[in-house]
Amino acid sequence: MASRSSTITLYSRADCVHSHRVRLIMAEKGVAGYEVVALRDDEESEDLLQLNPYNTVPTLVDRELVVYDPRIIIEYVDERYPHPPLMPVDPVLRAQYRLAIYRMEMDLYPLCDELESTPAVARKARGRMTELLTTLAAEFSPRTYIGEEFSLVDCTLAPVLWRLNHYGVELPKHQHERLHSYARRLFARPAFERSLSPIEAQMGTAGAP
């Protein structure tokens, strides 16, 4: 895919699962030349605070537009760069995909923060993550991706799956072979490798799920 020049600035953190998702979608869209302002976990940015009253990442700036909700960002990027499309045209399917994304954001993404917390909190979060992904694996479609085509749903789940080994979440392969195969397909996509920050690249050194 030909690279596309961009006037976009993305405020991001190197280990933030939400930021990773946005970088993955930018890579899938072939957006090149956008600026990434990488903030440390303990770093405050006056520029970001002026742009975003919540001072959160990811925050995307495209000329005069400032977007700071991750779900709004990913849909904006999908529509701003329409090829390849990462959401279906059919309104029923779009609603189903949005619900799937919402559930991942509500159920899986908060656990990523808890897995970085105290040992007791992390232990409980590992159990809950295993439970949720076991349920997902039981319902998993035999298709190549979650939907008919690669989509924002896959881009939302991929950063979570990539972090499992780093967080010590073990999914036995004999019980979750479809999920393991699916994860390998996601991680093999060229855009996924391009989306990784150096810190995130190290998260996968223990081996993919």
CATH of the domain at 66: 3.40.30.10
* Average pLDDT for 82-109: 95
Question: Do 134 and 163 fall into the same domain?
Answer: yes
User: Burial code of 108-135, b = ≥16 C-beta within 10 A, e = fewer?
Assistant: bbebbebbeeeeeebeebbebbbebbee
DSSP designation for 97: H
Q: How far apart are CA 20 and CA 22, in angstroms?
A: 5
Last residue of a domain, one of 47, 80, 113: 80
* Average pLDDT for 118-126: 96
Question: Do 18 and 54 fall into the same domain?
Answer: yes
Look at residue 2 and tell me if it is in a domain.
no
Candidate from 2-6, 41-45, 152-156 with smallest mean pLDDT: 2-6
Per-residue pLDDT at 43 exceeds 90 = no
Sequence-distant (≥ 6) Cβ neighbours of residue 123 within 8 angstroms = none
Look at residue 106 and tell me if it is in a domain.
yes
Per-residue pLDDT at 177 exceeds 50 = yes
Task: Please indicate, yes or no, whether the overall pTM of this predicted structure exceeds 0.95.
Answer: no
Question: Which pLDDT does position 1 carry in this prediction?
Answer: 36
Question: Do 176 and 98 fall into the same domain?
Answer: yes
Question: Do 102 and 200 fall into the same domain?
Answer: yes
| Percentage of residues of the chain with pLDDT beyond 90 | 76
Peptide bond just before 84 cis, omega within 30 deg: yes
Question: Do 97 and 190 fall into the same domain?
Answer: yes
State how many domains the chain has. 2
The CATH number that applies at residue 156 is 1.20.1050.10
Question: Do 172 and 191 fall into the same domain?
Answer: yes
* Average pLDDT for 61-78: 95
Last residue of a domain, one of 33, 61, 80: 80
Q: Domain residues for 189? A: 91-204
Question: Do 98 and 194 fall into the same domain?
Answer: yes
Look at residue 145 and tell me if it is in a domain.
yes
Look at residue 85 and tell me if it is in a domain.
no
Peptide bond just before 58 cis, omega within 30 deg: yes
Question: Contact 183/209 with Cβ under 8 angstroms?
Answer: yes
* Dihedral angle sign, alpha carbons of residues 151, 139, 137, 174: negative
Per-residue pLDDT at 164 exceeds 70 = yes
Question: Do 104 and 183 fall into the same domain?
Answer: yes
Question: Do 104 and 37 fall into the same domain?
Answer: no
Mean pLDDT of the chain: 90
Q: How far apart are CA 4 and CA 6, in angstroms?
A: 6
DSSP track, 109-170: HHHHHHTTS-HHHHHHHHHHHHHHHHHHHHT--SSSSSSSS--HHHHHHHHHHHTHHHHT--
Question: Do 168 and 129 fall into the same domain?
Answer: yes
